Structure 1
Amino acid sequence: MVSSSPFHRVPVSRRTLLGGLLGATALTLAGCSGGDEPAAQAPAPSSTEVLGRTNLEVLAWTNGPTIDDNFKKRVAQFNTEMAGKFTAKINFLPYDQYWQKIQLQYAANKPFDIYYWDVQAYAHFKKGLVLDQQPAVDATEMVDAATYPTKLYDPWKFDGSNLYCVPENIQSMALFYNKTHFDAAGIDYPDATWTWDKVIEVAPKLTKSSGSKVTQWGLDIGDLGVWWGIQTLAWAAGTAFVDKPLEPTAFQMTDPKVIEAMTFVQDLMWDKHVAPRPEERAAVSENNGGFSSGAYSMMPGGTWNIASYTQMKDEWAMAPLPLYQGNSTAPYWLGGWVVPAKSGAISAAQAFALWSATTFQSTMAKNHDWIPLQNAARSGTDMLDGMPDGFTDAMENLPNARIGDIYTGNMQQIFNEVFGPNFDQLFNNKLTPADAAQKMQDGATKLLT
C-alpha cells in the first residue's frame, strides 16, 4: 500500500505514502478496455528470450528526498549488477498526479514499463491490463515458505491462483511509546500483555497540562483514526468490515461488534477524553507537534513511521498492538511492482521486480530502506541494527496478521465518498457510532461491485 515503510523516512503518514486512501480522487479507466478481462501472462524469466526493450523506465511516486534517493541508489545498483543485459532509470511523480498519468498512458495504449503498487492498481487488474507474474515468481525462491512468508501473498492472488504484482516489502502496525515520558512517570513500558484498558488507565498519568492547556497527551488515537486502524479492533472482536477482503460480497458495518469498535475510538476522545479530540489534534499539528515532537506518550501507528521518529529528541520504542477483548490482530500491507501486460520492456521489468524481491533484500535491510519481505533479511542483524526496542516483537505478529486493504472495483470511491466523510463525522462527535455505521453500510453497499 504499506509505505510500506522505509526507515530513513520523511515524516509523512500512510495517507501520503500509500495513496491517500481517504483523500485521493477515485480512479477511473476511461479509454481503457472495459469489463473484466483475463490478464496476459509472461513466461518465466529466460536467459535466451528477451521480451521488449532492455532499457527500462521505472515509475514511482515521490516520498521526499530520503526515500527518492534510496530508490535512485537501488536503480544504480541494479544497473551495475545487470550491466550488459538491462539498464533502468527511475522517474517520480507527485502522488496526486501519479495515478492520473498511469491512467492516461493506459488509455493511450502506451503504458509505463513498470510502476509501484497501490490499491488503485487493482482496478487495472480488473480491466485485464496487468501481467500475470506467477510464472516468473515460480522460478524464484519467493515460493519457498521457509524463505518468504508465502501465505501473506494470498490477497494478491486476485484470480485466486496467480500473483499479478511482485511483492518486495511488508508493513504492519504497532503501539509507539515515548520511553522518556514513561521513565519520568515511573511507569513500566508497554509490552505484548498490555490491553487497551491498560492504555486507558495509564494515559492520564502521562498527560501534562499548563493551566487549562494540555501540553502532553498520554495517548493519541493515531491510526485508529483511519478505517483500517479501527478495523483491527473489529478483527480482535471476531468480525471485520467486509465478509472477505478480496472481492467482498457484503459490508458488515452494522455488525454490533463493529459499532462497538467505533464507539471505543470515539469514547477515547469524547467520553473518556484520554486522547485529544480532532480540533485538539489539529492544534498540536499546527504547532509542528505529534509523537515525534513529544506531544504524545503513546500512539498506535504504522511501521512506516519508524523513519520519521529516528531523529526524536526523546527515547522511544514500540510494542505489539494492545489486546482488545482478549485479542490483538495486526494489519499488514505488501509493497511491490506492477508490470503492464503491454509493457514495452517486459523482461527488463520482470528482472527489476524479481531482483528487488530477492537479491536486493539484504541491501534493503542494511539500508533500512523498507522492511524486506524475505524472512532472513527482515530478521537478520543488518535489519535489526538500529531498530527500536519492540520491533522484533511487532514483526512476530506477521504470521497472524490480516491484509489491511479491501479489493473490489469501486473500493477507492468507497474510501473517498463513504468511509472518509462518515468517519470524520464520527470522530468529530457529530454522528453516533450506530448512525455512522448505517450510513457507511448503505453507501458502501450501493457502490459494491
Structure 2
Amino acid sequence: MRKNKAVWMLLIVMSMLIIVVAGCSQRSGSVNDPGPEDSGSGDAASGQKVTLEFIRWSNGPALDAEEEDKVKRFNESQPNIEVKMTLLPWDETFRKIELSLASNNPVDLFYWDVPAYAWYKKGLFKNLQPYFDRDLNMDDYDARLFEPFKFDGENMFVAPENYQTLVFYYNKTAFDQAGLDYPTGDWTWEDVRAAAEKLTVREGDQVTQYGFDATAFGTWWAWMSLSAAQGGKIAEDINEPEAITLNTPETTNALQFLQDMIYKYKVSPDVATKDSLGMNFQTGKIAMYAGGDWDLGTLKEITDFEWDMAPLPKWEDGRATPYFVGGYVMAENTKYPEEAWEFIKWTMTENQKTLAGQQSWIAVHNPSREAAKLPDWTPSGYKEARFEWMKDGMIGDIYHIKWREAYDKYLVPMQDEIFLNNGSVQDALAQAEKEINALLQSP
C-alpha cells in the first residue's frame, strides 16, 4: 500500500514537471521575439480593473485643468483601465520618476523631457515601435518630426502628443503709430533691426518703449536658430555628441547681432533694465519679441493694444525654427504594457481632435490639426506662424546625459557674458566650446 502510493506520487510529480517544462517552452517564444500582442498583462481584458500610475509636471492652472480633463475623459471611456495622474513641479517630477524607476513597482507612464534620456541609456524605456507598427497609421503624422525620438536610429521610445515652437510677436498698435508695415513671413533679421530703431521711443534720456527684446533669445535653443538659419549647427548628433561647435562664423554672427541690438543700436533693453522697469511685451513697453507659442495663453488676455504674430524672421534667405515635442514614455518594467499603450494610443488618436480644438498645444495628428476651428481670439498671422514652421523645423534639444550640466556650468555664464556684460562674443564662444567639450569627453 505504501509502495503503491509512492509510485502514484512519483507519476504525479513527473506529470507536473512535464506541464511546467511545456509552459516554459511556450513562453520562450515571447521572450526571444517580444511584441505588443504577447506582452500585455491581460488584466483589463479579463475584466479586472487596472490602475496606471502616470507622472508629469505642472504647467499652471489652465493647462493643468486640460490635463486633468484629458485623463478624466480617458478613464470614463475605459471601464477596466484607470489612469492616476500625479502633477508635480518640474524638478520634483524627475526626482520622483527616478526613485520610482529604481523601485520594484515603477511608475507605468511619465511625460518626456530631456533629463529622462539618461534613463533610456539605462534600459528603462519600453521600445514603442512594435505598438506604432501595429496600431498607428503613420500617414496621419509627419514622421520626419518624430525622428529625434528614435534614440537608437530605428525605434520610437517616446510617443509624441504635441509640438511647441517659437514664433515672432509684434505690437500692431505700436506699428500703426510708427507708420510701419507689419512683419510678414518674408521679413529678415535686418528688417527687424530697422523696424526696432523706429519703434524705440525716447523721452530725453529715458526709453519708454523698446523696439525689440533681444534678451528673449538668452538661451541656446533660441539664439541657435539664427545660426542654423545661416547653415550653422551646434552638434551633428543631438543624442550623444562627442563634441559641439560654438565658435563658428554663423554662431558669432547670430550672437553679435543680438548683442548689438542691446549695446550698439540700443533698441533692446538689457536684462537688468528689463527686470527693474518691468519692460515686457504684455505691458506695451516692447514692440517685438520672439517667444514660445506657449506664451499665447497669456497674450490672448491683452486688451490694452492689438498684437499679432508672424514666423521667425529669416537670415538673408534661410530660416530655421526650433521645435520641441511633448509625449509619453512607458516604463520598461511596467506590469501593464498593453493598458499603458491603450492610453498612449488614445492621446495620439482620439484625443487629438480635442487637443487641436483647445489650441494650447499643437496637435501631432495632421487631420485633427487641419480640421480644427480657430478660436475667435487668434490674430491674423496665427495659422502661418504656428503651423507652417514644419517645413523648416529643427529640434531644439540635445539629449546627451551631460548636457544639463554643460548648460548650467558653461552655457549660462557664456550667455551672461554676452547679454549682461557686453563681453566679446567670440571669446565667450571659444571658452564655452572648450569647457563643454572637455565635459562631454570626460569619463
Question: How does the TM-score come out when normalised to structure 2?
Answer: 0.86
Structure 1 residue 293: Cα displacement: 2.0
User: Which of 391, 394, 397 is 1:399 aligned to?
Assistant: 391
1:208–1:107 CA distance, 2 compared to 1 (3 A): same
Flag the structure with higher helix content.
2
Aligned residue for 2:437? Answer: 445
User: Are the counterparts in 2 of residues 215 and 295 from structure 1 also a CA contact under 8 Å?
Assistant: yes
Q: Secondary structure, in 3 states, of the residue corresponding to 2:110?
A: strand
Structure 1 residue 41: Cα displacement: 9.6
User: Which of 284, 289, 292 is 1:302 aligned to?
Assistant: 292
Aligned residue for 1:68? Answer: 64
Q: Secondary structure, in 3 states, of the residue corresponding to 2:36?
A: coil
Q: Secondary structure, in 3 states, of the residue corresponding to 2:373?
A: helix
Higher relative contact order (CA 8 A, sep 6+): 1
User: Which of 167, 177, 188 is 2:170 aligned to?
Assistant: 177
User: Are the counterparts in 2 of residues 58 and 90 from structure 1 also a CA contact under 8 Å?
Assistant: yes
Amino acid in structure 2 at the alignment position of 1:253: L
Structure 1 residue 386: Cα displacement: 3.9
State whether structure 2 residue 241 is matched by structure 1 residue 248.
yes
Show CA shifts across 1:130-160 (max 9, x none).
111111122233522xx11111111110000
Aligned residue for 2:406? Answer: 414
Aligned residue for 1:10? Answer: none
* Distance in 2, Cα, partners of 1:401 & 1:253: 20
State whether structure 2 residue 102 is matched by structure 1 residue 107.
yes
Aligned residue for 2:84? Answer: 89
1:270–1:143 CA distance, 2 compared to 1 (3 A): same
Aligned residue for 2:336? Answer: 345
Bigger-Rg structure (1/2): 2
The count of corresponding residues between Structure 1 and Structure 2 is: 404
Show CA shifts across 1:169-191 (max 9, x none).
01111111111211222211100
Amino-acid identity (%): 34
Show CA shifts across 1:42-65 (max 9, x none).
733689853797211221111111
Amino acid in structure 2 at the alignment position of 1:270: Y
User: Are the counterparts in 2 of residues 330 and 401 from structure 1 also a CA contact under 8 Å?
Assistant: yes
Aligned residue for 1:368? Answer: 359
Q: Secondary structure, in 3 states, of the residue corresponding to 1:129?
A: coil
1:42–1:391 CA distance, 2 compared to 1 (3 A): farther
* Distance in 2, Cα, partners of 1:171 & 1:383: 17
* Distance in 1, Cα, partners of 2:262 & 2:367: 41
* Distance in 2, Cα, partners of 1:222 & 1:267: 11
State whether structure 2 residue 261 is matched by structure 1 residue 268.
yes
* Distance in 1, Cα, partners of 2:259 & 2:72: 48
Q: What are structure 1's unaligned runs of at least 5 residues?
A: 1-39
Q: Secondary structure, in 3 states, of the residue corresponding to 2:342?
A: helix
Structure 1 residue 341: Cα displacement: 0.5
Structure 1 residue 202: Cα displacement: 0.8
Show CA shifts across 1:323-347 (max 9, x none).
1132111011110011110123322
User: Are the counterparts in 2 of residues 54 and 347 from structure 1 also a CA contact under 8 Å?
Assistant: no
Show CA shifts across 1:297-321 (max 9, x none).
1101111111111101221111111
Aligned residue for 2:9? Answer: none
Q: What are structure 2's unaligned runs of at least 5 residues?
A: 1-31
State whether structure 2 residue 419 is matched by structure 1 residue 427.
yes
User: Are the counterparts in 2 of residues 42 and 132 from structure 1 also a CA contact under 8 Å?
Assistant: no
Structure 1 residue 421: Cα displacement: 1.6
Structure 1 residue 416: Cα displacement: 1.3
Q: Secondary structure, in 3 states, of the residue corresponding to 2:317?
A: coil
Q: Which aligned pairs between 1:57-206 and structure 2 lie closer than 5 A?
A: 57-82=53-78, 84-144=79-139, 147-206=140-199
User: Are the counterparts in 1 of residues 352 and 363 from structure 2 also a CA contact under 8 Å?
Assistant: yes
When structure 1 is superposed on structure 2, of 109-118 and 377-386 the one drifting more is: 377-386
Structure 1 residue 104: Cα displacement: 1.8
User: Are the counterparts in 1 of residues 234 and 244 from structure 2 also a CA contact under 8 Å?
Assistant: yes
* Distance in 1, Cα, partners of 2:117 & 2:363: 22
When structure 1 is superposed on structure 2, of 103-112 and 180-189 the one drifting more is: 103-112
When structure 1 is superposed on structure 2, of 391-400 and 302-311 the one drifting more is: 391-400
When structure 1 is superposed on structure 2, of 162-171 and 222-231 the one drifting more is: 222-231
Structure 1 residue 364: Cα displacement: 0.6
User: Are the counterparts in 1 of residues 263 and 422 from structure 2 also a CA contact under 8 Å?
Assistant: no
* Distance in 2, Cα, partners of 1:48 & 1:126: 24
When structure 1 is superposed on structure 2, of 116-125 and 52-61 the one drifting more is: 52-61
